[in-house]
Amino acid sequence: MSEATRTSVTLPGFLGLPIFQPGWVWLVGAGPGDPALLTLGAAHALASADVVVYDALVDERILALAGPDAQLEYAGKRGGRPSPKQADITLRIIDLARQGKRVLRLKGGDPFVFGRGGEEGLALVEAGIPFRVIPGVTAGIGGSAYAGIPVTHRDTNHVVSFITGHDTTGGVTGNIEWEALAKGSPVIVLYMGLKHLGEIATRLMAGGRDPDEPVAVIARATTPAQRVLETTVSRAEADVAASGIEAPAIVVMGPVVRLRAALDWLGALDGRALTADPLGTRHGQKKTGS
């Protein structure tokens, strides 16, 4: 492609991105925090929307990508704090669409991964509102990667389970087979589970989980305020309390956490020396610096 051609094309047209039509709702994932993880589809939606109904964990720098005339409506839900009810949020986006607005429902992470995007989509179908889904990078994958933890690795696991730490009542999720999870999933990624971390760890250990298994708690993942606490299943609750780490956070349990000693690329930028063989499977390797 010539330089003249490259400078003459517009990104949406060049990529074949869909037109955001009036009266539509787009359910869009904003990623876990870092604007660099926003998809091109999400950026296009922000630039095109008349109204952006956004969640609590959407970074302000992402909202700044909305068009100059776009209306921004906060619809954040945070545990333990006054929050809009889900039914009210759903009714609001339906009402805005019926007004002929281009409605962007912007959610942290991915709308279909513990984001209640499925519930909103079902309500839109029932109301006869056309919609589109634009997935986003979910925190369990993106946040783990920013902590230097791959959720799968061929030397450790071929299975990973993503679970939520609470149900609609606010208590520990009751319909999980904890023993089966403890024995069957080498790696577990826990969303929204900090409040009940002790009880969850107890249930997993009762199901056969090794109390000394490594755990990483990743708070405010992918943002400048990211913190990572490395601990174990048995000590997780006490260590979180002592550290002062607060939600939002994800928790990774399993042998992949050991890989952080080698793959903490953000830590390496700050001078951390990385260990080339954290699992003891690559003989003859030496430590490498950043």
**Catalytic residue IDs:** 55, 77, 192
Q: Which amino acid is at 139?
A: A
In sequence order, what are the residues at sequence separation of 6 or more whose Cβ sits closer than 8 angstroms to the Cβ of residue 44? 11, 12, 17, 20
What are the backbone angles phi and psi of residue 149, rounded to the nearest 5°?
A: -125, 110
Instruction: Count other C-beta atoms under 10 Å from residue 86's C-beta.
Output: 15
Question: What is the distance between the alpha carbons of residues 90 and 26, in angstroms, rounded to a whole number?
Answer: 13
For the chain, the residue count is: 290
3-state secondary structure of 267: helix
Q: Which has the closest alpha carbon to 133: 158, 113, 155?
A: 113
Residue 188 token pair: 């577990």
